[in-house]
Amino acid sequence: MRSHNTYRNDFPIFNQDSNSRLVFLDSAASSQKPLSVIESMNKCYKSDYANIHRGLYDLSENLTNKYEGVRKKIANFINASNEKEVVFTRGATEGINLVANSWGMENINEGDEILLSSLEHHSNIVPWQMVAKNRGAKIKVIPINNNGDLELSAIDNLLNKKTKIVAITQASNAIGTIPDLRPIIDKARKNNSKVLIDGCQAIVHMQVDVNDLDCDFYVFSGHKMYGPSGIGVLYTKEEILEKMNPYQGGGEMIDQVSFESTTYAPIPIKFEAGTPNIVGTIGLGSAIDYIEKIGYNNILEHENILYSYAYEKFSQNNNIEIYGKSKLKTSLISFILKGIHPHDTGMFLNSMGIAVRVGHHCAQPLMNFFRISGTVRASFAIYNTIEDIDCLYDGVCSIIKRYNA
């Protein structure tokens, strides 16, 4: 594994001339971008750009091949059966909404149940509430314990023949818990329930194999995995995607159009209405190249060192309350300073050049479980160092000292 500082040097934002060192600890919200991703997108705009798919000239055809090449790359990256199972979206939120509005509205009926978990981001709650309200279905929720682990013993009662779909995160964005999905998916299969996995917080940290998971839907966003914003992926098993109706209508996703009727393009294009985010897709492909070049084993090793170091320091301070103490977590710490509002903590840290996320992290039901309004979240990525964590801890200690003076 290369040294910590060498990884950091791949990211231009950390190499700017400045009197102060940027301590960026908000990668769970959106990661910084390596130079290779930025340069691939710049090159696309400067040298390769044209609209894709139906252009009968070299520039368009060449970029179409590169764009579709990224689709194949993603299929290999997540071990999909083929590239037809990969739909480009604006992000994971749109992917979940696509499934909810297309598959959900067509297959969920009155009296059916939708199973979520207490760890979910609002993006994996609100779309299903909309479906439930429209179709007369019920939302059920897998509870958690005080460590932030799912209470898997509740699955037997919650997951049954009425459960049409289980929509669940692969890793919590708010407290970092990585739930054990195997028993949930196995039980879903026995009940003929579909499974959607929100992989936004997982895919940047761990290898994803959708065939091994045996999920029906899998969503993720590019901007959390060193790629650009505005581009994401929805994986769907081919046999399910073939039966789904389009979520949006317009250009590109059609076959034949008349004023009487329309026929649709084959999958996955029939779910990609309008001009796509061409350059964003190229950038996502470069982000995957960057991750694969480093290797997940090296990423995991690096992040485990950072997390273990941070947890040991923070857990020994009686003025700090940590939320999310699962034994299996992503590399983030969610905490509050006792007697100090998270927003005040965040503002003081910002004045020290330390960027963290504060608030409910789009997980208000989870915060309600802990009876708090929000936390301070410090999330670590490949470009972070031990020095970053020392800066964070020293900053936190100075805030505690200031309030206790």
Amino acid at 4: H
Backbone angles phi, psi at 364, to 5 degrees: -60, -40
Cα(69)–Cα(60) distance, integer angstroms: 14
Is 44 considered catalytic here? no
Residue from 247, 243, 267 nearest 255 by CA:
267
Residues near 176 by beta carbon (within 8 Å), at least 6 away in sequence: 148, 201, 324, 326, 329, 330, 331, 332, 333, 334
Residue from 372, 362, 366, 305 nearest 30 by CA:
362
**Which tokens belong to 269?**
């294009």
**Contact indicator for 282, 44 with CB cutoff of 8 Å:** yes
Residues near 14 by beta carbon (within 8 Å), at least 6 away in sequence: 8, 22, 24, 32, 383
Residue 70, CA distances (Å) to 66, 86, 278, 287 in order: 6, 10, 10, 11
Q: Counting Cβ atoms within 10 Å, is residue 17 exposed (0-12), middle (13-18) or buried (19+)?
A: exposed
**Contact indicator for 392, 332 with CB cutoff of 8 Å:** no
Cα(166)–Cα(173) distance, integer angstroms: 18
Backbone angles phi, psi at 330, to 5 degrees: -80, 175
Options 44, 200, 215, 362, the catalytic residue = 362
**Contact indicator for 174, 117 with CB cutoff of 8 Å:** no
Cα(189)–Cα(58) distance, integer angstroms: 47
Task: Give catalytic residue positions.
Answer: 362
